[in-house]
Structure 1
Amino acid sequence: MENQGTVIQLSLWESLFSPNLNLVPFVVGISMGYILNVICFMPLGFLVPLISRIYEKAGKCFLFGFGVSLGIEISQMFTPYRATDIDDLVANVLGVMAGWLILRLLMKNRMIRRLAGKEQDCNRGWYLPVITTGIAFLATFIS
């Protein structure tokens, strides 16, 4: 009887943790999926510095984007039929930084600076982007 319980746990664990890793970058080259990952993460790099002054610096925004993307890629090891891919991590971080750069270029416009200034007067600190991203991340597992 004890062996049957162990077999059930192992089969449950095997279906729960199914890593499909690709740690070699650009094996396939730059595909449409790569470009779409860059585009998908651009709003994160654009909006996070507007929400909190902490992420106005490129390094902080980079670390936030890297952390979010790394969390997504690690979670895919626990999701059947998903692959953890270094290309996705690179594309996501590249998208965050492209969004940050676009925001920097747009901040030269007076109207955008004024809108950003009003939002930053009520600076909510570093935790608001983290909490928002965490809730969105958890919602994918609940639904």
Structure 2
Amino acid sequence: MVSLLILLIPFFLVAVLNIMLKKNSKKFGKKILWQHRLFGYLFILYLMINLVQVGVPSWFECKISLNQGQPIFHTDNMNLVPFKDSLDITSILNIILFMPFGIFLPTLWDKYRKLLPTFCYGFTFSLIIEVSQLFTRNRTFDINDLIFNTLGTVCGWVVFNSLREIFYKLADKTVVKSLPSDTFISKLEPHLYIVIAFICVFFSY
């Protein structure tokens, strides 16, 4: 029961975010369709699954380390040398895991329909994950993960653009266009999904 409630928290927070965005959009005559909100819920679900799979720190793990007098920041086994090891199944899985990230971004926000912003956001998101793993006991900062996660984001962007012509009607309904009159919260919307996912995963296990 508790696990179910914890799982529902990010969806509740996204619902609150949607209410705030809807109020702001009405003031400036900006229309946000229900398709955008639907894909937003799918996006937060994907982010939660992604963060659990890659292994970001949790409050429970930090609490155990503190109770045992162990450091919560670990720099052991950091790999800062690209391609030191040969390509393995983990690298391929990282690409696959981050492809949806590169698909969701241009699906939801038009500014990510350009490659450079998507690449930069994929790199930043992956870098945040890798740095956060320095606060875990069983994960390490790996430059290869950073590279292949970013590559996965770019591959997802390519897939979106390959299929965009087929699903152009749906893509036009899910996307929110950036306007000079956008409020601060509208500009922060893509980043708030990441913040919500990180906080919820941190306190969920």
When structure 1 is superposed on structure 2, of 122-131 and 68-77 the one drifting more is 122-131
Structure 1: runs of 5+ lacking an equivalent? 1-8
> Partner letter of residue 18 of structure 1?
H
CA contact (8 A) 1:15 1:80 kept: no
CA contact (8 A) 1:42 1:98 kept: yes
CA distance in 2: counterparts of 1:66 and 1:115, whole angstroms: 27
Aligned-pair distance for 1:81?
2.1
Distance change >3 Å, CA 130–CA 101, structure 1 → 2: same
CA distance in 2: counterparts of 1:64 and 1:126, whole angstroms: 14
Aligned partner of 1:38 among 95, 104, 107: 95
Aligned partner of 1:87 among 144, 168, 183: 144
The Cα offsets for residues 12-60 of structure 1, whole Å up to 9 and x where unpaired, read as: 4x52111231000111111100100000000000011111111111000
> Partner letter of residue 73 of structure 2?
F
Residue 71 of structure 2 corresponds to 15
| Identical counterparts, % of pairs | 37
Q: Write out aligned runs for 1:118-133 (5 A).
A: 118-120=173-175, 122-123=176-177, 125-133=186-194
CA distance in 2: counterparts of 1:100 and 1:127, whole angstroms: 21
TM score, norm. by length of structure 2: 0.59
Aligned-pair distance for 1:74?
0.4
| Number of matched pairs | 130
Aligned-residue CA RMSD (Å): 1.8
Matched, 1:75 2:132: yes
CA contact (8 A) 1:51 1:128 kept: no
Matched, 1:138 2:199: yes
> Partner letter of residue 47 of structure 1?
F
Residue 111 of structure 2 corresponds to 54
Aligned-pair distance for 1:126?
4.4
| Rg larger in structure | 1
